[in-house]
Amino acid sequence: MDHFEIKPILEGLFFVSDSPIRLETLVEILPESNKEAIVEGIRQIQAEYENPSKGIELTEIAGGYQFRTKPDWAGWVGRLKKVRAIKLSQAALETLAIIAYRQPVIRPAVEEIRGVDSGSVLHTLMEKGLIKMMGRKDLPGRPIVYGTTKAFLELFGLNTLSDLPALKEIEPPQMPEEIAKEEILKTETEEIALHQDLPQDRREQ
> Which residues contact residue 130 at a Cβ distance below 8 angstroms, ignoring those fewer than 6 apart?
96, 148, 149, 151, 152, 155
CA distance linking residue 97 with residue 78, whole number of Å: 26
Q: At what angle do helices 107-114 and 119-127 cross, to 10 degrees?
A: 120
Burial group, residue 205, by CB count within 10 angstroms (0-12, 13-18, 19+): buried
Residues of the chain falling short of pLDDT 50? 1-3, 169-181, 196-205
Parallel, antiparallel, or unpaired: how do β-strands 131-136 and 105-106 relate? unpaired
Looking at residue 74, its pLDDT comes to: 77
| Domain 3-69 is found in CATH 1.10.10.10 | yes
Q: Give the tens place of pLDDT for each residue, 190-203.
A: 556 555 444 444 43
Q: What's the sign of the alpha-carbon dihedral 130, 100, 97, 200?
A: negative
CA 151-76-54 angle, to 5 degrees, is: 85
Looking at residue 167, its pLDDT comes to: 64
Equal fold, 3-69 vs 90-193: yes
Q: Architecture of domain 90-193 in CATH?
A: Orthogonal Bundle (1.10)
Domain coordinates in residue numbering, the chain: 3-69, 90-193
Q: What is the pTM for the complete model shown?
A: 0.63
Residue 58, CB half-sphere, CA atoms under 13 Å: how many? 23
Q: Is 98 left (phi over 0), alpha (psi -120 to 50) or beta?
A: alpha
Looking at residue 65, its pLDDT comes to: 96
